[in-house]
A and B are shown apart, each in its own frame.
Chain A
């Protein structure tokens, strides 16, 4: 545990507040470790070792993609954009950024799925048109969210 009153301490393993919590977390931790061990056993015994390198690259790739690309982009964009927009716009813009990130993942899947299409019933839609529609929905959603937040603020200002 860190010293009381210190700020900026992250990932501190906290103390259990009650006996129930202590028992619960012990059970969760034990069950969790057991499931991880079972997963590792299944992987080692059923996945041919020739497939491990590719799987491990993908396993590491996800966390690298997040920690080295997605998170820095989100932080920098957040730091640059959010202080410069009115407060009611911020949740909608945050949501928009989140949706944009997810849409980027889907864009990769849609374009790749359409490029590697093995039969006409896989990704039957025009992927670019589909992405344009989704992007339009996203923009409308952000505008509606911001409009709603601004209106809510006006209402609460009138009430006060």
Chain B
């Protein structure tokens, strides 16, 4: 029972970070049919921002705001500099553009900072834990779950109640129709990128609180997981992205807790297996768990 609760807690903790990232990927996919491989780089941007501010006497009191701000700015900048110009090109072109940005980001951090890991101080409370009965609750887990829950509720409110949110949801369903209804494409897409940046910034805060260091390629691992989560949930489906993220987190934690032997043996093949699962998903249920239908008019 204890182990179950513990795994559940850990799984939700990791999974909610995946969910935040997957939501951003799904959001961008919704408005411009792009799987943004550069999305993970927002985490890297956040981490390096934290590193630079700590070099000059930063404090965890205001660091989250700075990290989130940097991620939002970077996200909007990629849209303005790159994605805006390939918006009407083939999905192929957009995908490669995002790939190019990812490469460029890796290389630039390596050249201008260092290929090596750059650590910075962690918040003092991060590894504190409280024991409730027989379950050990890590403060960080609670913070992660709490922050994610608040963010998701906030996101839900934004998408249901505000004009921006409704426009984005409309655009995700059918961009041409949304445009006819007076939705301004540029503003919606910039807004979507800003919002995806905000979600990635929050995720970046949670990630660097746990492992306070910056590394050129740190975003890519997270990106891979987030893309998988978004695919499982059905690209373009917002609730699907959240459930996909949580499912992936729980799956990972439970596999490690309950099947440690199998997990270690399979660890050698982990990426391969995950990708086979994703590939199967694509073949058997290309629309993901949650359908967003796009009927093509002929």
Q: Do A and B bind each other?
A: no
Q: Which residues of B contact A (CB under 8 A)?
A: none
